[in-house]
Amino acid sequence: MSITQTSPLARIDNQKLHAALASSARPRGASALTASLLFGWRALLKIKHVPMQLFDVTAFPAMLTLIFTYMFGGALAGSTGEYLHLFLPGILVQTVTMITMYTGFTLNTDISKGIFDRFRSMPIWGPATIVGALLGDAVRYSIAALMVIILGLIMGFRPDGGVPGVLLAVLLILTFSFSLSWIWTALGLILPTPNSVMGISSMIMFIFTFGSNIFVDPKTMPVWLQVAVNLNPISHLVTATRGLMHGTSTVDQIARVLLVCAVLIILFAPLTMYFYRNKKVR
């Protein structure tokens, strides 16, 4: 038999294989929404394997609320009850915005393990890996917000805005946190290690949260510091949150927060996707 000649058995097998492949309909690719939700579910499944992720959304906010209310509330506001009225909306904002840093941290961890490059090679909507991670983290943000609110109610916090005001305040915080997370995803794509992402993002959030109106009224600060605090986007979010919870919010307060959210997404979402498409394989 010639070297180039194909045996009858091989021809039959090739024909069967070709027929089997030709008769099978190609599966439809996942839509952008489906792919994003799947990656969001993946982000939630990480909690099962790394339970310590729940510490930041349960124990940590509870400790901050208890410590600041009972240790500093009397000195800062005259009584713990008065301070809790001012402080709880602020600590709610701090708790949720602080844990947004883990979005960039987990993304960079995927990059360092090589998982990121596998995702980029898959026939799916490109931004799904990032958008899905942000959606999954939104669930963690909601858990953190629920923990703070329940603890506050136990401690005596009574929002004048009622349930609708609290729900709208949480929704506004989640919207802001989703927008803020785009900054950390951009950092997660350009910084070399997960620890560097966490270090830089922690420093930034420390400045913005403690340099805001979360803990005290800016009127007691020096004039130059009042200007900085009043320009801080976290301060605008805290003011709007307090207004919604206490039934004193204005359209202007909410509009400022939504404007900041729009600016963050417009600036950092395209930048993140540029880094995503041009990220070199490690």
pLDDT digits over 262-279, tens only?
999 999 989 988 888 776
For the residues of 40-105, what is the DSSP string, one character each? Answer: HHHHHHHHHH-GGGGGGGTHHHHHHHHHIIIIIHHHHHSSHHHHHHHHHHHHHHHHHHHTTHHHHH
Which pLDDT value is given to residue 280? 60
For the residues of 187-249, what is the DSSP string, one character each? Answer: HHHHSSSHHHHHHHHHHHHHHHHHTSSSSS-GGGS-HHHHHHHHH-HHHHHHHHHHHHHHT--
C-alpha distances in angstroms, 84 versus 152, 189, 221, 225?
Answer: 8, 39, 20, 24
As to burial, measured by CB atoms within 10 angstroms (0-12 exposed, 13-18 middle, 19+ buried), residue 195 is: exposed
203-224: pLDDT as tens digits: 999 999 988 988 888 888 889 9
- Assign 160 to helix, strand or coil: coil
The arithmetic mean of pLDDT across residues 21-36, rounded, is 66
165-176: pLDDT as tens digits: 999 999 999 999
Is the separation of the CB atoms in 185 and 130 below 8 Å?
yes
Instruction: Please state, in angstroms and rounded to a whole number, the distance separating the CA atoms of residues 11 and 8.
Output: 5
Cα-based torsion angle of the residue sequence 257, 188, 65, 143 in order, rounded to the nearest 10 degrees: 80
53-81: pLDDT as tens digits: 677 777 877 888 888 888 887 777 777 88
Q: Decide if pLDDT at 260 tops 90.
A: yes
Q: At what angle do helices 162-190 and 80-98 cross, to 10 degrees?
A: 40
The arithmetic mean of pLDDT across residues 30-40, rounded, is 76
Q: How many CB atoms lie within 10 A of CB 272?
A: 25
Q: Decide if pLDDT at 10 tops 60.
A: no
Who wins on pLDDT, 35 or 255? Answer: 255
